[in-house]
Amino acid sequence: MTVTLADVAARAQVSPATVSRVLNGNYPVAASTRERVLKAVDELDYVLNGPASSLAAATSDLVGILVNDIADPFFGIIASAIQSEIGGPGGRAGGERLAVVCNTGGSPERELTYLTLLQRQRAAAVVLTGGAVEEGPQAAAIAAKLRKLADAGTRVVLCGRPPAPDTRAIALTFDNRGGARQLTEHLIGLGHRRLGYIAGPEERTTTRHRLEGHREALAAAGVEEDPRWTVHGRYDRRSGYEATLELLRRDPTLTAVVAANDSVALGACAALRESGMRIPEDVSVAGFDDLPFSVDAVPSLTTVRLPLADAGARAGRIAMSREDPPPGGIATIRGELMVRGSSGVPRG
Amino acid sequence: MTVTLADVAARAQVSPATVSRVLNGNYPVAASTRERVLKAVDELDYVLNGPASSLAAATSDLVGILVNDIADPFFGIIASAIQSEIGGPGGRAGGERLAVVCNTGGSPERELTYLTLLQRQRAAAVVLTGGAVEEGPQAAAIAAKLRKLADAGTRVVLCGRPPAPDTRAIALTFDNRGGARQLTEHLIGLGHRRLGYIAGPEERTTTRHRLEGHREALAAAGVEEDPRWTVHGRYDRRSGYEATLELLRRDPTLTAVVAANDSVALGACAALRESGMRIPEDVSVAGFDDLPFSVDAVPSLTTVRLPLADAGARAGRIAMSREDPPPGGIATIRGELMVRGSSGVPRG
DNA sequence: CAGTGGATAGAAAGCGCTTGCTGCCAGGTT
DNA sequence: AACCTGGCAGCAAGCGCTTTCTATCCACTG
């Protein structure tokens, strides 16, 4: 059998209640008693029973983090930052929290399932990262679930995701539209007029916002846009590679390719290079996010830096109530245009 | 108040026991009754109380995954693969498991703390990834903890980590030594005789094994080695950058730089390039792991591919007892040499 | 028609912990 | 000297579920 609170109590010659209080440190206990208890805990190698504790106290020390793809550094960086703030080892004492990182693969169904699982565990907080899917019956179901979680006392924070109205969820949103706009303005400023755009999956907010920003910039500069210049794909390198070949097929005269994110941009670079085009002499390329590897690409990638780690850390603190939520429960986090080697003056 | 089993039972006009059995599906319940219960569950929007369930059943559906750095794709890929196998949404029905991904930062203390936290939660399984620290009092403490976890019925699997004797832990080990050896043999075969080596942190098994493989290859080929040609650092790009500058300072005549992993190699490339050297004409560079971005580097990186996703998936299945452990509880997973553009014949 | 066994459903005893309330004692008041 | 007042410790009642054991009902069997 495993050691229980009662065993410790017996050995320390106190009541179970006292042991519990020593362990939780939320009630005065005489120093001598505390010591005796701690000694017993140590000698018996006692480990608290988490489920029992959670049940009795009606709280849990689990914090859920939902990400689209844990293998993608975009989410890895955010998750890492959140985790470093929610306590756990390394955080300040007391709040030893366990982060539950859930891979949704971007699927709303799985997102919903994970939220239910977290609700079942009575998670202390839940942080949802990355864009949301805005259509389909699932979207409403997710909003309803978030509301329920909030009602049950789980703090819900959205990081890099648009606000979810009527859910009481705190939202730290990336200014994807503004960033994309700046980026395209930069390219237009260099003289580009024929810009291909590799967008992410259709129904995602991030995709839409970045695309809208791009188009705003074009419209504002009076640059015409051919619908064939936009291709949708996934947020990965492979997709960028394929989409670029497609763009080149559709219109070989493009002078710039704007990608939905850095991974896609890298794929685009590979495709361009294999097609015999130089970057940026023949075609300029731009990404988004400024992930760590982007600066290492050759040429280094012009992109929009998103303060992923900062945002994640802030989300983590808010989830732990260690920082006040932004006014109105919504904060917009801006990106910063990083002009680097992959963008230049168009040829000809 | 939240809805409880009893509420559902009342509404369905059955006993709580029956509701529990319907939900768990581990006991015969008449179809009509089941339907009535399910209807009540649905109407009341009932969500099982996880802690209560775990307490009563003395089991939990949490699976711990320990990683050094969740922002590093090396671990992200493994974690993602593990998670896709341990059930959760998307996995087969029944075993809805929650993956708890814990960031240890490579620190044995935090590893230990997380293991205790998982033990407290009565985790169903724990997967430890990445190299271990082999010295210090913590190493023994971790082994002891693993033993205790195993004794308590938690399945312990090591993925990409050397076997831990006397712990009953299943180990899927990467053949770091063999991979490193092959890689260096390749460079020697090209004609390199003055090879710099950027190693990882000193006390880690992965660092040691890769370095040993490198030296074995040198020794086998009768190539002399200058101790100044080895620099230790961290497993990140920055470290590779700095270490390379240091190597260049120590001996500008090196014709190749072997890095502890791909991120380090990328940093090395950046440093070399900034120092005015061409890759591979002036200096060849090699990495390890073959992370997704490595093929995109310019020139693409010569490295050793580790089947991260496969290994993770296998670890996940073993953790879930869906696959038999390897004979002896230990399996060695080989890497595959990927010769690409960053390595070439030395100058002169 | 009593007897038997399979299939279901319920009663109730926990699982190991937390916490409101009560009790006790020492030191300080009046 | 009787009376408070705090500071600590213990009692005991759950927290919401699982599961063993028991009860019931029916359909058959002999």
Residues in chain A within 8 Å Cβ distance of B113: 88-89, 96
Query: Could you tell me whether strands A303-305 and A336-338 are parallel, antiparallel, or unpaired per DSSP bridges?
Result: antiparallel
Residues 38-57 (A) near nucleic chain D, CB < 7 A: 52, 55-56
Distances (CA, A) of A42 to A10, A11, A48, A156, B280: 14, 11, 12, 37, 58
What's the pLDDT band for B157 if we cut at 50, 70, 90? very high
Tokens of A190: 């260099």
The whole-angstrom separation of Cα B244 and Cα B237 is 11
| Residues in chain A closer than 8 A to B152 (CB atoms) | 2
Supply angle C-alpha B303, B308, B240, rounded to 5. 40
B174-230 pLDDT, tens digit each: 999 999 999 999 999 999 999 999 999 999 999 999 999 999 999 999 999 999 999
pLDDT at B140 over 60: yes
Instruction: Judge contact between B65 and B101, C-beta under 8 A.
Output: yes
The DSSP-derived string for A151-183 is HTT-EEEEESS---TTTT-EEEEE-HHHHHHHH
With the CA atoms of B127, B133, B138 and B139 taken in that order, what torsion angle do they form, in degrees rounded to the nearest 10? 70
Nucleotide showing the shortest C1' distance to residue A15 CA: D10
Read off the pLDDT of residues B286-313 as tens digits, 9 standing for 90 and up. 999 999 889 888 899 999 999 999 999 9
Separation CA A191–CA A210 (nearest Å)? 21
| β partners of residue B125 | B63, B155
Sequence-distant (6+) residues with CB within 8 A of B290 are B262, B301, B303, B304, B305, B306, B338
Q: Can you give the pLDDT at residue A1?
A: 65
Could you tell me the CA-to-CA distances from B165 to B144, B146, B316 in Å, in that order? 10, 10, 21
Per the structure, the residues numbered 27 to 66 in protein chain A that have their CB within 7 angstroms of any atom of strand C are 27, 48-49, 52-53, 55-57
Task: Answer whether residue B93 shows pLDDT above 50.
Answer: no
Identify residue B134 by its one-letter amino acid code.
Answer: E
Q: Tell how strand A256-259 and strand A230-232 pair up.
A: unpaired
- Supply angle C-alpha A234, A165, A235, rounded to 5: 10
What residue spans in chain A does CATH classification 3.40.50.2300 cover?
A: 176-305
What single-letter DSSP state applies at residue B346? P
Residue B1 has a pLDDT of: 64
- DSSP-assigned letter for residue A202: T
Name the closest residue (CA) to the C1' of nucleotide D7: A28
pTM of the model: 0.93
Question: DSSP per residue over A99-141, as a string?
Answer: EEEEE-TT-HHHHHHHHHHHHHTT-SEEEEES--B-SSHHHHH
Please check whether residue A224 is in contact with residue A285, taking contact to mean a CB–CB distance below 8 angstroms.
Answer: no
Of B335, B71, B106, B73, the closest CA to residue B201 belongs to B106
Bases of strand D lying below 7 A from some protein CB: 7-12, 14-20
Mutation target among A101, A126, A273, A306 for the B interface, most CBs of B within 10 A: A101
Instruction: Tell me: pLDDT of A92 over 80.
Output: no
Cis peptide bond prior to B299, omega within 30° of 0: yes
Which tokens is A39 given?
Answer: 């000694």
pLDDT at B63: 95
Nearest to A98 among B121, B270, B273 (CB): B121
Does the beta-carbon distance from B96 to A117 stay under 8 Å? yes
**In chain A, at which residue ranges do the beta strands (DSSP E only) sit?**
62-67, 98-103, 125-129, 155-159, 170-174, 195-199, 230-232, 256-259, 284-286, 303-305, 330-333, 336-338
Identify the CATH assignment for B176-305 out of 3.40.50.2300, 3.60.150.10, 3.30.1330.60, 3.40.50.1000.
Answer: 3.40.50.2300
Per-residue pLDDT at A297 exceeds 90: no
Give the domain A1-56 fold.
434 Repressor (Amino-terminal Domain) (1.10.260)
List, by residue range, all CATH 1.10.260.40 domains of chain B: 1-56
Q: Which of B293, B300, B340, B342 to mutate to test the interface with A (most CBs of A within 10 A)?
A: B293
A:B CB pairs within 8 Å = 179
Q: Looking at residue B89, what is its pLDDT? A: 44
Question: How many Å separate Cα A274 from the centre of its chain?
Answer: 33
Whether A126 and A161 have beta carbons less than 8 Å apart is answered as no
What DSSP string runs through B237-291? HHHHHHHHHHHHHH-TT--EEEESSHHHHHHHHHHHHHTT--TTTT-EEE-SB--
* Mean per-residue pLDDT, A180-188: 98
pLDDT above 90: residue A135: no
User: In 10 A of CB B224, how many CB atoms?
Assistant: 9
Helix (H, G, I), strand (E, B) or coil at A26: coil
Inter-CA distances, B58 with A54, B28, B55, B94, B114, Å: 14, 22, 5, 17, 20
How does residue B343 score in pLDDT terms, banded at 50, 70 and 90? very high
CA dist B67 to A216, B100, B289, Å?
42, 10, 16
Q: Measure the CA–CA gap between A170 and A315, rounded to whole angstroms.
A: 9
Rounded Cα distance, A78 and A82, in Å: 6
**Residue B7: its H or E element:** helix B5-12
- Determine the average pLDDT of the residues in A79-83: 95
**Average pLDDT score over residue span A20-32:** 93
